[in-house]
Amino acid sequence: MSVDGSTDPRFAAVGGRPGKIVAVHLSYRSRAAQRGRTPRSPSYFFKASSSVAATGGVVERPVGTELLAFEGEIALVIGAPARRVSLADAWNHVAAVTAANDLGLYDLRAADKGSNVRSKGGDGFTPLGPALIDARTVDPARLRVRTWVNGELAQDGSTDDLIFPLAQFVADLSQHATLETGDVILTGTPAGSSVIVPGDVVEVEVDALDTGASSGRLVTTVVAGPDVAFDPAVGSLPAADDAQRAEAWGSRESAGLPAAASALSDELRAKLERTPVAGLSQQLRKRGLNNVTIDGVAPLHPGAKLVGVAATLRFVPGREDLFTARGGGYNAQKRAFDAVAPGEVIVIEARGETGSGTLGDILAIRAHARGAAGIVTDGGVRDAAAVTAVGIPVYTAGAHPAVLGRKHVPWETGVAVACGGTTVEPGDILVGDGDGVIVIPPSLAEEVADAALAQEDEDAWVAAQVAAGEPVDGLFPMNAQWRTRYESERRS
């Protein structure tokens, strides 16, 4: 498979310098769940062949950086040129699989703006090998990749967790450019990628679960780079913020960061719990926001107040082939309920389709156990009596006994959704009572809550005057005379 006959030891594992190294951004469901987004189709970036390293080598962490991260991956080595090949034929163009470590510096991601040229293209940032597994002898759906850091298992993923099959990367890329003999495709990493520091030793191994064939362990040691800083006169400098630290480490907790600040403080939550949805709707209307109610849903617990921050889940219309591909296993629905944080409301886009359930009692129990504030779906609920008994506030368009696959395919989480005729973004504030559910932009929540509570006080005073026999004319709404009396009594 040698492309140029090179004897450079860096390329020994793959038989020569690769003409192209193409890497997949996001491909494992476990990793997508970590990131809170699931791609609809594969996306890619290029890595320089000069970044290839052999097993037993070192990778330098440059001066001024802190967020060097490992990513254990399955690498595909192209054996026969592929141009516009079909999905069925694509695997025939793969000669071998082996282990890869798609190393990257999160400190340089902002400068790259998605290209990964700086963050993933450094010398030694693509270790490959040490041995090839003949692609003809393995089932691509039965491969495993594991990563150890200092002897501790950090990643353990298999290709049955892939969002897209391995062959799809070959077929897809071949539609756009010829894949040539010796080219390498890095197929993405499962959950567990994290930060490594000088002195750490990373080992990656790929093996076939059916046959036991193995790539052997690909070993890389992290060392501190030479004391030569990036030159600000010629390019961008490294920069790390808490968002990059959380992504690099895998979570804010792993990065040693405090939990992300919520737009819903304890004080604001207490205000909203006292405020009727009708009052909030009135105040939002005064500010030009009319389309903020989730229509067509009713509470399973009419006396319970719902207050929380939106975490979103989107279903698309049922289609048998898509449900086969996306509906089983650790799908978007399960990931949403497993990941919901305390105080969040799971908001489900079901297009108003009530012909099947969008959750049942098991998922309601999971959300309740996670501390979720509630669930809102413009679709149906299965096991409605059991869901009600769980005790978590649930708003639904109705009950239905059918399972999810009859009408819906669980598609993605963490995106803007359309629920009950309005748009809900992750982080929006939801308030629900017997009148329904309203969506409040976080930037307006404090102002709207204060105004609504003030209006409630005023309305209560007016109601007391009417109950005492006063006519509503001039009192509701108050004219200047009644306003003066109200303000005087309020001050006293």
Distance CA 402, CA 171 (A): 37
Token pair, residue 102, equals: 């798609």
Find out whether 383 is annotated in a ligand binding site.
Answer: yes
Find out whether 360 is annotated in a ligand binding site.
Answer: yes
Token pair, residue 140, equals: 């691509």
- Asked if residue 105 lies in contact with residue 122, where contact means CB atoms within 8 angstroms, the answer is yes
Find out whether 359 is annotated in a ligand binding site.
Answer: no
CA-based radius of gyration for the chain: 28
Residue closest to 387 by CA, chosen among 361, 367, 366? 361
Distance CA 389, CA 368 (A): 11
Find out whether 87 is annotated in a ligand binding site.
Answer: no
Find out whether 474 is annotated in a ligand binding site.
Answer: no
The angle subtended at Cα 492 by Cα 483 and Cα 271, nearest 5°, is 80
- Asked if residue 77 lies in contact with residue 166, where contact means CB atoms within 8 angstroms, the answer is no
Cα–Cα separations (whole angstroms), residue 329 to 97, 163, 246, 332, 342: 25, 11, 27, 9, 25
Contacts of 7 (CB under 8 A, 6+ apart): none
Distance CA 217, CA 133 (A): 13
**What residues does 52 pair with on adjacent strands?**
126
- Asked if residue 374 lies in contact with residue 345, where contact means CB atoms within 8 angstroms, the answer is yes
Find out whether 362 is annotated in a ligand binding site.
Answer: yes
Say which amino acid occupies 484.
T
Number of neighbouring beta carbons within 10 Å of residue 402: 14
Q: Which residues sit in the known binding site for Mg(2+)?
A: 383
Q: Which residues sit in the known binding site for substrate?
A: 360-363, 382
Q: Which residues sit in the known binding site?
A: 360-363, 382-383
